[in-house]
Amino acid sequence: MPIKSRWEEELPNCSLQQWIFGSPSAPLPDRKAFLDADRPDTHFVTFSEYRLLAKRIALGLQAAGLKRGERVLLFSGNSLYFPSVFLGVLMAGGVFTGANPGFVARTRDAAARRQQGHPSLDGAAGAGGRGRGLQLGRTRGQPHDDVLPQLLVRNDGRAQRCRDFALQLRSNGAGVIKVTKLAPDYTTAVKRHVGLCFLPMYHAYAQTYFVANFASQGVPVYVMPSFDFVKMLTHIQRFRVTHLVAVPPVLVALTKHPVAKTFDLSSLENVGCGAAPLAAETAAETTRVLGKPDLLVRQGWGMTEVTCTAMTWDPTRLDRTTSAVGEIMPNFSAKLVGADGVEVTKARTPGELLIAGPGVMRGYWRNPKATAETFAVDADGTRWLRTGDVAYVDSYGPGGLFFIVDRIKELIKVKGNQVAPAELEALLLERTDVADVAVVGVTIEGEEMPRAYIVRTPGSETSGEEIATWLEKKVSRHKRLRGGVAFTDVIPKNPSGKILRKILREKAKQEVGDRDPATSKLS
């Protein structure tokens, strides 16, 4: 029997932009929506300008020939104008895709090829491909379905290539806001809320909170061009930031870096964490360092495939546990399936977590095989997303808290970016001095990173540093072997030749790791 959410929220029968602004033309507050954290007095966008700029971008794209259903790929870092470009593409009838501007040329070109001739825009491009986006041009597009996704989110994964997630954004944020408003003092508190965005806006995590949710509540957001720990602390102190939307490495630094104690962070009222596992010890230590015993550091759970988040925390619930990832979001359902394929119906019994609901993706873009492998369909037609995570629930029924205890998927999570071991293994095997290789994730200082185990060819004396440096030139930053390179006599495999990664993950944990990266996941 599936576990349903305690809440149901009527889905907004409107576009994402209408959900955010309420109306295409009604007056909006002349309050600041996005402010440059380094130059807030002179560089900002009001809520009225946010909508106006999005409209102008939409008209410009249509005038340039953008047709309904065409995809627009944006290579850009954080900017005051990123949200307007995002919504402008949707207003024009296009499908938005954001990508890391730091991609090396090879990755950028592959992403552009997947556009199949549809437009690419270059924002603050990285050195690996600066200026290339606008030179990509276009060829004849492909036919489209009548029902269009509004967003294709890119993550590195299956088939050693970027995957595109077709998402319907009709429900984006509605459930989050529903639960947020349960706080007894919400109406008063929201007026003083202040956000700080250092997460990359090309990632679904930042888009959910900063492009949509905060804007729909009228919460101003200070935008950092990129993450800088000391600057983050400076901005929290200066702007009296109330909501910290973070990832585990940020909280690890907050608890261990001595400079954090020199800043006044007392304005923080809410600390949420996602995109990667958060250790219970780090959550508890964050509360201690901030000196606010009543502040509960919460980690959530979700995936890009479920439009970012599928678990939430009721603000009236004061459970002190720091290892749970919350309960089911409004309009979602969950069930657990054991290794034998039988549905789990008992509390504290682990099984693979399956999720169903309006925020679940339609499928992997032009990859029906991957889509079929990822969904289980009930007799009544309900589509269940296989998450690849093993979980249990403390109380079987609505309101039960979920705990993630293991991970089936082999993907490595680096600061919210998925890294496919097979891609790195294929590249490393191009070297003549590498006979065999396996790449696994290892958590060091609260951050998961790739580590390679290599069998050298006979007679080779190449060093791990040499191999890691060689690979750096071929991959994006988050795919580098920051977990190190170790040499071994043999790669453990089962009789069918499948790499026994669990053995290597345990080995890596003993050699250089600090804890098991299997507490929660938000991609």
Q: What are phi and psi of 48, to 5 degrees?
A: -65, -40
Tokens linked to 278: 């958060």
Over 60: is that where the pLDDT of 494 sits? yes
Residue pointed to by tokens 């290599």: 454
The pLDDT value given to residue 184: 92
Model confidence, pTM: 0.79
From the list 298, 270, 294, the residue with the least C-alpha distance to 283 is: 298
Residue 379 to residues 5, 38, 373, 384, Cα–Cα distance (Å): 21, 55, 17, 11
For each of the domains in the chain, give its residue range(s) and CATH number, in order of start. 14-148 (3.40.50.980), 412-511 (3.30.300.30)
Helix residue ranges per DSSP H, 318-463? 368-374, 421-428
pLDDT of 192-230, one tens digit each? Answer: 999 999 999 998 889 999 999 999 999 999 999 999 999
3-state secondary structure of 277: coil
Asked whether the beta carbons of 77 and 101 are under 8 A apart, the reply is yes
Residue 447 to residues 104, 252, 275, Cα–Cα distance (Å): 23, 9, 11
State the average pLDDT over residues 182-198: 96
From the list 13, 138, 160, the residue with the least C-alpha distance to 71 is: 138
The pLDDT value given to residue 352: 94
The pLDDT value given to residue 417: 82
| Sign of the four-CA dihedral 446, 449, 454, 459 | negative
Asked whether the beta carbons of 87 and 16 are under 8 A apart, the reply is yes
pLDDT of 456-465, one tens digit each? Answer: 998 999 999 9
Q: Within its chain, how far is the Cα of 224 from the centroid?
A: 18
Over 90: is that where the pLDDT of 236 sits? yes
State the average pLDDT over residues 36-50: 98
Over 50: is that where the pLDDT of 146 sits? no
Average pLDDT, the chain: 85
- How far, in Å, CA of 101 to CA of 103, rounded? 6
Name the residue type at position 343: E
